[in-house]
Amino acid sequence: MAILNVTPDSFGDAVRFVSDGGVDVESAVEAALRMEEAGADVIDVGGESTRPGAEPATAAEESARVVPVIRALAARLRVPLSVDTYKAEVARAALDAGAAIVNDISGLKYDADLAGVAAQGRAALVLMHTRGRSGAMYEEASYTDVIGEVTTELSQSITRAIEAGVSRDQLLVDPGIGFAKRPPHSYGVLARLGELAAALDRPVVAGPSRKSFLRGATGDRPATERDWGTAAAVTAAVLAGAHVVRVHAVEEMVQVVRVADEIRNAGLRAES
């Protein structure tokens, strides 16, 4: 899953597609096409930065950023489009424009109407784990058993989605690496992803790309210089059972994923 942020302030991007003049749709489309060519299986388009401490965008601002890009890409991409939003209004507009997946960082905690929009649009729905809003999420980063608590809270999100009419087969889960989690929590989640996948019986999305939890191991370097650390985290995620990894550096991480996948498959063959 390739990250295409059309925001003015996302933490991990070397290139910005939004300025005072609005969205540079053509440049964003060209970037997405390069991601597809590099091996991306899904393009995830986001119009609001959800990094810790980020200022929220209105639904109108977010839609104005993502909808023109999704509409332009829908006619040109062979791979599915995802919209990274927790707002029902934005999701509806994005699905109408050609998106097939809704990627909700809140696990249906922020907007109760979002699940109904996904159900009506027959869209796949990624349910991510977090606690609190961006400005205060670390205040709730307290766990006795991080993987057990994340699993329980994601199970509640799955129940909410199904009750709203989303088919269980349309659901994926994301443990929310870096969201309401201190670095030891994020590493703990990565180490035990297999337990999460087994307990929830849903495909697992892992998003460690360029996140700040890597700094303790790699040094205090800018987000765009964290791809080596990201590669290690992506490898760990694949070996632990992740089905999808969400990344910035597509060409490099495609190689990482394919090698890690071969190692994992060899282990599974040996076990059988």
pLDDT tens, residue by residue, 53-63: 677 899 999 99
Domains and CATH numbers, the chain: 2-271 (3.20.20.20)
pLDDT of residue 11 exceeding 80, the answer is: no
In this predicted model, which residue has the larger pLDDT, 143 or 140?
A: 143
pLDDT of residue 204 exceeding 70, the answer is: yes
Note the maximum CA span of the chain: 58
Residue 109 among the catalytic residues: no
pLDDT given at position 225: 94
pLDDT tens for 230-244 read 999 999 999 999 999
Q: Classify strands 22-23 and 18-19 as parallel, antiparallel or unpaired.
A: antiparallel
For residue 178, how many other CB atoms are within 10 A of its CB?
A: 24
pLDDT tens for 151-191 read 999 999 999 999 999 999 999 999 999 999 999 999 999 99
Confidence of residue 70 (pLDDT cuts 50, 70, 90): very high
Among the listed residues 87, 181, 211, 226, the single catalytic one is 211
pLDDT tens for 210-224 read 999 999 999 999 999
pLDDT tens for 104-119 read 999 999 999 999 999 9
**Mean of the pLDDT values across residues 97-105?**
98
Q: Which amino acid is at 29?
A: V
For residue 255, how many other CB atoms are within 10 A of its CB?
A: 12
Residue 246 among the catalytic residues: yes
pTM score > 0.75 for this model? yes
Among the listed residues 78, 246, 258, 264, the single catalytic one is 246
Long-range contacts of 236-240 (CB under 8 A, 24+ apart): 236/190, 236/191, 237/190, 237/193, 237/206, 237/208, 238/264, 239/263, 239/264, 240/190, 240/191, 240/192, 240/193, 240/194
CB 4 within 8 A of CB 44: yes
Element spanning 264, H or E = helix 250-271
pLDDT given at position 55: 77
pLDDT given at position 8: 79
Confidence of residue 49 (pLDDT cuts 50, 70, 90): confident
pLDDT given at position 19: 60
CA angle 173, 62, 8 (to 5 degrees): 100
